[in-house]
Structure 1
Amino acid sequence: MSNKLTKYLTDFSSFKLTRPISDKVRLLEIIGVVLTGIGKFVFMDYLNWRLPFVVFAIIIWSFYVFYRYKKDRNVLKDWGFRRDNFKIVFRLILPFSVLSIVSFFMIGYIQGTINMTWHIIPLLITYPIWGIVQQFLTIGLLAGNLKDLKRVKLKNSIIILLTAVFFSLVHFPSLWLMSGTFILALFYGYVYLKAKNIYVLGLLHGWLGALFYYTVLNQDPFLDIFLKYI
Structure 2
Amino acid sequence: MIHGNGITDKSRIAELLAVFVTGAGKFIFMDYLNWRLPFILVSMTGWVGYVIWRSTKQRYILEHWGFGFTNFKQALKKVLPFGILAFVVFVIIGIMQNTINLTWHIIPILLIYPIWGVIQQFLVIALVAGNLQDIETVSVKKTLTILITAVFFGVLHYPYNWLIIGTFILALFYGYVYLRVRNIWVLGLFHGWLGGLFFYTVVNRDPFIEVFGKYLN
> Which category describes the TM-score, using the shorter chain as reference length?
over 0.9
Query: Which runs of structure 2 are paired with 1:16-31 in the superposition (5 Å)?
Result: 16=2, 19-31=5-17
TM-score (norm 2): 0.97
Deviation at 1:17, TM superposition (A): 7.7
TM-score (norm 1): 0.92
Question: Is 1:206 matched up with 2:173?
Answer: no
What amino acid maps onto 1:137 in structure 2? L
Question: Is 1:47 matched up with 2:33?
Answer: yes
Q: 1:42 to 1:168 in 2, by over 3 A?
A: same
- Structure-1 separation of matches of 2:9 and 2:75: 28
Moved beyond 6 Å, runs of 4+: none
Query: How many residues matched?
Result: 216
Unmatched segments (≥5 aa) in structure 2: none
Decide which of 47, 54, 57 is 1:68's aligned counterpart. Answer: 54
Deviation at 1:163, TM superposition (A): 0.2
What amino acid maps onto 2:26 in structure 1? K
Give CA-to-partner distance per residue, 1:162-221, whole Å, 9 cap, x none. Answer: 000000000000010000000000000000000100000000000000000000011111
Decide which of 134, 142, 147 is 2:120's aligned counterpart. Answer: 134
Give CA-to-partner distance per residue, 1:25-62, whole Å, 9 cap, x none. Answer: 10000000000000000000000001110000000101
- Structure-2 separation of matches of 1:63 and 1:177: 28
Decide which of 159, 168, 177 is 1:191's aligned counterpart. Answer: 177
Is the 1:18–1:78 Cα contact (8 Å) retained in structure 2?
Answer: no
Partner of 1:216: helix, strand, or coil?
helix
Is the 2:6–2:58 Cα contact (8 Å) retained in structure 1?
Answer: no
2:148 counterpart residue number:
162
Q: CA RMSD in A?
A: 1.1
1:117 counterpart residue number:
103
Percent of paired sites with the same residue: 56
Question: Is 1:148 matched up with 2:134?
Answer: yes
What amino acid maps onto 2:86 in structure 1? S
Give CA-to-partner distance per residue, 1:112-142, whole Å, 9 cap, x none. Answer: 0000111100000000000000000000000
1:6 counterpart residue number:
none
Unmatched segments (≥5 aa) in structure 1: 1-14
1:10 counterpart residue number:
none
